Amino acid sequence: MNQRHLRNAFGRFATGVTVVTCATSDGGRHGATVNAFTAVSLEPALCQVTLTRRSKACRYLKDTPFAVNILAADQTDTAWHFAGRPVEPEPQWSDGPLGPVLTGAAATISCRPWRTYDGGDHLIVIGEVVEADITDLEPLLFHAGTFRHLDRRDAGAHWGACLDSPESGWFTGAPAFTAMHAKHATRHAS
């Protein structure tokens, strides 16, 4: 598979933009811009970031608490800064519950190290969420190699109209799963 073609295909998936931050062994702070982030589990509370093995962050995250700073729409400079294009003034840091975090983020998820896995030329890092701080700020997005912003909200159909809506029971965390066709059969039989 041609790597450029595959990269373009992966880039069609719109993501948020995060900066993973941690303390270094010499007492410094380190951050890396990462768009490969996802929730993994609610119980236990786990999330995942995937980092290129060439990044310094891979070395720093070994058995080290870290934070996933979900960047706000006005933090494009912060994303570039931690992607290797330093900006002035530098992004502002503060102390989080487990280590350094960035100020002004849309959300910050502080994690203890849980597991790491081989991800080919990347390292998959799973963190156990200890604390999550949320703001009302809109997130910064990344799509097709470009930073983006949310457009106005669609006034059309609400998520509740979809059978995958949390209100329909898909994400209830129930130990048993009821297939959608069984739900429809029950509704039509009554």
- Single-letter code of the amino acid located at 93: W
- Supply the DSSP string of 115-166, one letter for each residue: EEEEETTEEEEEEEEEEEEE-SPPBEEEETTEEEE--PPP-S--GGGSTTSG
Cα–Cα separations (whole angstroms), residue 143 to 19, 77, 107, 116, 164: 16, 17, 20, 27, 24
For residues 20 and 68, is the Cβ–Cβ distance under 8 A?
yes
Are 107 and 184 found together in one domain? no
Residue 91: name the closest of 69, 66, 59 by CA. Answer: 69
| Euclidean distance between CA atoms 89 and 91, whole angstroms | 7
Can you read off the two tokens belonging to residue 188? 């039509």
Domain encompassing residue 184: 159-190
**What string of pLDDT tens digits covers the 190 residues of the chain?**
888 888 778 767 678 999 999 999 888 999 999 989 999 999 999 999 999 888 877 777 888 999 999 999 999 999 999 998 999 999 999 999 999 999 999 999 999 999 989 888 889 999 999 999 999 999 999 887 878 888 766 666 565 656 665 555 555 555 555 555 544 444 445 4
Are 103 and 121 found together in one domain? yes
Are 28 and 112 found together in one domain? yes
Counting the structural domains of the chain, the total is: 2
Q: What is the pTM of this model?
A: 0.77
Are 122 and 186 found together in one domain? no
Tell the residue number behind the tokens 């119980």, with chain if given. Answer: 43
Which residues, other chains included, contact 19 with Cβ-Cβ below 8 Å and sequence gap of 6+? 31, 32, 33, 34, 69, 71, 78, 79, 82, 91, 102, 105
Are 147 and 163 found together in one domain? no
